[in-house]
Amino acid sequence: MKGRVDLCFYGFLIATAVAIVLSQSRKSHINDGISFPDGFSKLPLHLRDVEQLVSKITPNKKYSYWNYTSVLGGYKTIIWFKGDSLLRKRLHFKMPGYGVFSSNSISKTYSYVEFIDNDTMRFANNKADIIEFIGKVDNIEEATLIANLNNLHPDYDDNRGSCYRETSENYQIYLMSFEGCPESRQSVLATISKSGRFDARFLEVYQQSNDCYSH
């Protein structure tokens, strides 16, 4: 009887050790597209919507008015604004001819930020200017927008491209780097410090084909 108890106890110890190893492996690796690394959570779905991202911007200083504008084929649309829009109507200014998230397709597209500073309309229409406009990174939306500016985007079909965690110093986000021809998706660990510094570590290519993406 004692031998059987010892054998059962020995088996229990082995099973427990294996379970712990598997659990730790599941927490610390993200190689199956299902597990999360330790401390990481799924990115909220609203982070794929640029309007949701810019609506959470807290600028580096208080402005009487600012907006995020998108241009498509010469026609501009104010996606989001904050402040007194009447102030904008009183100013004379020329729309910038380029911006971020640009496309050189038949209908030229790009985006930029307008903001009124000292009664003058100013623009943040490149990556560095928008990051400066954001200033301190206050939330996951601002962090994701900075990652978008560096051509990284969520892939909600795979956790290797859609999970994050916040620390006292930064946001760490697993995102996707997409190549269109041939089509591939690569996992990237982006680190956005709360001071706005961006760093990226390119990891595994988790999906690829011989097809070419067109839009």
pLDDT tens-place string over residues 166-210? 999 999 999 999 988 888 999 999 999 999 999 999 999 999 988
| Tokens matching residue 81 | 């604004």
Question: 3 falls in which pLDDT band (50, 70, 90)?
Answer: very low
pLDDT over 70 (residue 21): no
| Tokens matching residue 98 | 């380029």
User: What CA–CA distance (Å, rounded) separates 162 from 185?
Assistant: 12
pLDDT tens figures, 141-152: 999 999 999 999
Residue 176: φ, ψ to 5°: -110, 135
Quote the pTM value. Answer: 0.81
Burial class, 41, CB count within 10 angstroms (exposed 0-12 / middle 13-18 / buried 19+): exposed
User: What CA–CA distance (Å, rounded) separates 112 from 105?
Assistant: 18
- Cβ atoms of 42 and 162 closer than 8 Å: yes
User: What CA–CA distance (Å, rounded) separates 144 from 79?
Assistant: 17
* Measured CA distances, 214 to 43, 52, 131, 183 (Å): 26, 26, 30, 10
